[in-house]
Amino acid sequence: MRLMYAIIDIETTGTSHRNGKITEVAIYIHDGQQVTDSFVSLINPECYIPYNITRLTGISNEMVADAPKFYEVAKQLVEITAGKIFVAHNVAFDYNFVKEEFKRLGYDYRRKTLCTVQLSRKLLPGHRSYSLGNLCSDLNISINGRHRAGGDAFATVKLFEILMQQNNEQTQNLFSNAPKELPKEKLEALPGQTGVYYFLNDSGEIIYIGKSKDIHQRVLSHLANNSTKKAIEMRSKLVDVDWQITGSELVSLLLESDEIKSHQPLYNRAQRRTRFHYGLFTFQDEEGYQRFEVRKIIDGELPLTSFYSAAEAKEYLHSLVDKYQLCQKLCGLYQTDGSCFHYEIKSCNGACIGEESPEEYNQRAETAAARLQFRSPNFFIMEEGRRKGEWAIVKVQNGRYTGFGYVDEESSTEGVQALHDCISSRQDNRDTQGIIRSYLKKHPATRIIEFRMEE
């Protein structure tokens, strides 16, 4: 049976599929030899198109005013791509936008995917850049309408045909993207949702645990991965896949970490113990000065914050020294019996040689330490749950992670007690601390509800 491909490009209102909308879509159906069908249309995103996007794509609010809305072309998009491999240049971008548009309509859109960026790196090595524009320039592919869906999609068609010509028997799997290790029914059952997945061998033992925003796509990528000996060996032992949908990305990170420590899977060697080996600690010395130090974490210790490496931790501490005018010597960054280097250039007030009092110095040191702590010792993190009308809840009490759970929207409005009651206890450790701190730093708009201990 001949494989069919849907070569796709979209234009959007922004770079995030969670907040952006599609403004144009182009699809060329390819049978491996030639284009057999096509669909190109502007899309009314039902929101404002920013000026910088209009300047890049040429698509204005006026142009899309009378264009069909996504729901009006959704059925046609499903039909034209059915049974086809979804192909795009940087496929994750286009696929996630299309998938998100369908998700808003309550439809779970799933297709096997193929990325011409990845294929180009493997089959056409040595190019200075693998962006569509630069690659097409190197290969003498003309783009009639750069940053428009039709022009970029058709250029991707020409690139795709060159890549197919470069393909051979050893790399045929690059284009098939049809893993055969698992039954078709199991592959089709994989959810295209956020969660944790488990690979099992013929004895029912868990050999690998992972997390993904799209379990279906991530498992398919594992099954098509021939890049390392480990990937091939793991796939040869895989006979079944299980999963837990979490809805929340943060919960998936926490659950994955917990499950890896619990099950000790063979192919999660690097994550069995911890991801964060070095910590930043604080203590008060004999003179009353609050000091900081970077050192390897001993089992059971919970530092102010943790890092993958000592170099990363020291780099961060250097930034604190600069921002809060701390002493290099008291932070363990300058070994001397006298004053630190910053004192010589008047960036340190002399705590290193007793010229600044502990009381004055510690005010800044405590402010720096507070920056590393949660803004409140007791709070809940609320994120999108596993289904509509449900919240995922992560609980931190006395600065320690205590577990997660789920509550429906109606119950969540009844008071804090409903949030306490839904929590299933989990173990706190430096990985969970690092995961939560890192996640909140990357997602500052995350919803947080603080509570008092008597609540």
Tell me how far apart the alpha carbons of residues 118 and 96 are, in angstroms, rounded to a whole number.
17
List pLDDT tens digits, range 343-399: 999 999 999 999 999 999 999 999 988 777 777 889 999 999 999 899 999 999 988
| 23 neighbors 13 (Cβ within 8 angstroms) | yes
Residue 455 has pLDDT above 80, yes or no: no
| 368 neighbors 377 (Cβ within 8 angstroms) | no
Task: Please tell me whether residue 323 adopts helix, strand or coil conformation.
Answer: helix
Tell me the CATH number of domain 184-265, given options 3.40.1440.10, 1.10.3720.10, 3.90.25.10, 3.30.470.20: 3.40.1440.10
Task: Please tell me whether residue 391 adopts helix, strand or coil conformation.
Answer: strand
pLDDT score at 358: 95
Tell me how far apart the alpha carbons of residues 254 and 15 are, in angstroms, rounded to a whole number.
27
| 327 neighbors 344 (Cβ within 8 angstroms) | no
Specify which residues 86 forms β-bridges with: 6, 113
CA 421 and chain centroid, separation: 29
Domain boundaries, the chain: 5-176, 184-265, 278-371, 379-450
Residue 293 has pLDDT above 50, yes or no: yes
Tell me how far apart the alpha carbons of residues 402 and 425 are, in angstroms, rounded to a whole number.
6
Nearest to 325 by CA among 303, 346, 310, 353: 346
pLDDT score at 398: 83
The token pair at 84 is 């086809």
Which of 57-71, 171-185, 194-208, 235-249 is least confident?
A: 171-185
Q: Which fold has domain 5-176?
A: Nucleotidyltransferase; domain 5 (3.30.420)
User: 85-88 and 5-12: which strand pairing?
Assistant: parallel
Buried/exposed code over 417-447 (b: 16+ C-beta within 10 A; e: otherwise): ebbbebbeebebbbbbbbbbbebbeeeeeee
The amino acid at 353: I
Give residue 79's pLDDT band: very low, low, confident or very high (50, 70, 90).
Answer: very high
Enter the pTM of the model: 0.56
5-176 and 184-265, same CATH topology: no
